[in-house]
Amino acid sequence: GPWGHGVGVVATAFMLLNFLYAARKRWESLRTLGEMRSWLRFHVFVGFMSPLVIAFHAAFQSRNQLATGTAIALAVVVFTGIVGRFIYGLVPSVEGHVEALEALVEKFEGLRERAKPILEKSRNPRRLTSTLDLATRKVPSRSLLGLVVRLPLSALRVRFGIWRVRRYLPDPRSRRRFHDDLVRLNRVRHQIAFYDALRALLRGWRVFHATLAVFLVLVMAAHIGLSLYLGYGLK
């Protein structure tokens, strides 16, 4: 009846507000309208509220396969949005987080420069340089799971390399400093690789989430078209 269809029109318009977030990200004319973080909060709010509004439209019932398929598609889109929002909070590639990655890179470079004077005082700079390279070389691009498995193995390898060259350092203080700096360098380089892998995961997840959202819109259009074809209008 008019009430149910009226709620359906409002619910559809409400759900389509989710695409304002994508428009804000891509349209230059909207770049000055508020912070991206606020738009994301609105996007998440609309995403969570959409199933509730649609449930009222359906009077908390599902009497045909197309409506059921629309509800399932909506649930999947909301779920992928929740996962994507969690990943978004971990990745330093958006406003407010990019400084974190820059700080890691700066810290990495500072630790590497601080370790170099110790090499000059050692009795075998070549051996210490190879150990330093072990802790500073770029981590190969891997999956998040691969990085998690690789980190403890890499930490053991670096510590073993430090233990092998400790006799070439002039005094206990230099040994302790060289040890601490290389352990931190190894940790920071894996943090940088971890963030890079997270950003790659987020890019892929965005495509997946957006594809599902477009599919949902198509299913909604089919649902509306079928109801109009069968004579269910606002009258």
Taking CA atoms, 7 is separated from 12, 52, 53, in Å, by 9, 11, 8
109-165 residue pLDDT tens: 887 787 778 777 777 888 888 888 877 787 776 676 777 777 788 888 888 988 888
CA 197 to each of CA 58, 103, 115, 185, 192: distance values in angstroms, whole numbers, following the listed order:
41, 17, 27, 18, 9
pTM for this predicted structure: 0.58
Report pLDDT for 203. Answer: 78
| Pair 56, 11: CB distance under 8 Å | yes
Is pLDDT of 96 > 50? Answer: no
Average pLDDT over all residues of the chain: 78
Question: How far, CA to CA in Å, does 28 sit from each of 25, 44, 74, 104?
Answer: 8, 22, 29, 30
Q: What is the pLDDT of residues 74-86, one digit of tens each?
A: 888 888 888 777 7
**What 8-state DSSP symbol labels residue 27?**
-
